Chain A
């Protein structure tokens, strides 16, 4: 096991995920699934699901999950340290200058320009998760479309956007609906 590669990959994820929340997701997919094949896309998709259900940032959760899978508990330490190291350096430097000069203008301008790009990157990663949910591991075609998943998706989206239901409740409901569908219908 190449611990150095694990460290470097999570260092990259930590250094380039701007905007919090799901911003790290496209980077994790890029490093962990596409480049190094530490997780299959399905395991990655499970990981995003598990992260949504548990406290803790998705990047730290992935570092622990992937680290353990490829290098045991030591791997988890290495990946987690890699993932938080850029934050520790960059945030401390910015906080130091802020507490000295009280000036944040450029930082906020850069973030404003980054945010639209981050939205698009999250959207791209989201599309692949939705396609995986709708089609499973099959080829994307009309005959392989799982209609019940599309319906579960639509119900969830309605609850989230119109009813403003708590995402965790929505997720549990989605899981239960799928169990019911497969057991009884």
Chain B
């Protein structure tokens, strides 16, 4: 087993690297974390890592940050969290800082503004395909409650402009009640 200092250093470098070079969001990053910390370093058991990933995905916030927190915590407690979260934040912080410095100059450049304008149609398509994939996954589950929630969340937010936070809070409460009911049914 590596010494604590070595381990923290390796944790820092690996999370920094993953954060800087992973395109495609949190789901990709946690898979790569599993490869690194389970398959390569053997620091975490596979089953435990899958549960830790589930925690990272079910908690609020960015999945990449949450993934860094669970891994850091598991490996080195609070110090581990600080190290891995800082490493995860550094790359986007630097990249976006640079982008914002140049943003105004860039935005007034004809080619770049046309590029960005076209990319808006592209990002619209990316979002559409993500939504379509997620929604068809939910429809396939054939659960009346999920379908109703999907329907009403859209109607309330789009047509009635109900604040997203209220919709999410309501769903958390419904989720807790649903879980309690299910657990009671399992006991009976």
Contacts and interface: CB of A to CB of B under 8 A. Distances in A.
Contacts, number: 332
A95 to B, nearest CB: 5
A26 B157 contact: yes
Given A49-B123, A105-B183, A106-B176, A88 B69 contact: yes
B64 A174 contact: no
If over half of B's interface residues share one DSSP class (helix, strand or loop), that class is named, otherwise mixed; here it is helix
B122 A152 contact: yes
Most buried by A among B52, B121, B178: B121
Given A48-B123, A92-B81, A120 B115 contact: no
Contacts of A132: 120
B115 to A, nearest CB: 4
Contacts of A161: 129, 132
A51 B59 CA distance: 21
Interface in A1-31: 12, 14-22, 24, 26-27, 30
Contacts of B92: 54-57, 60-61, 64
A64 B91 CA distance: 11
Contacts of A73: 97
Contact of B74 (A99, A110, A160, A171): A99
Interface in A43-58: 45-46, 48-50, 52-58
A130 interface: yes
A121 B61 CA distance: 16
A158 B122 CA distance: 11
B79 interface: no
Interface residues on A, range: 35 or more
Nearest to A107: B58
Contact of A84 (B22, B61, B129, B179): B61
A54 to B, nearest CB: 5
Given A20-B25, A117-B153, A27 B165 contact: yes
Interface of B: 19-27, 51-52, 54-66, 69-70, 73-74, 78, 81, 85, 89, 91-93, 95-97, 99-101, 103, 107, 111, 114-132, 134-135, 138, 145-147, 149-151, 153-154, 157-158, 163-165, 167-169, 171-172, 174-176, 178-180, 182-183
Interface of A: 12, 14-22, 24, 26-27, 30, 45-46, 48-50, 52-61, 64-65, 68-69, 73, 76, 80, 83-84, 86-88, 90-92, 94-96, 98-99, 102, 104-127, 129-130, 132-134, 149-150, 152-153, 156-157, 160-161, 167-168, 170-179, 181-182
5 contacts: A56-B64, A84-B89, A88-B81, A121-B168, A134-B121
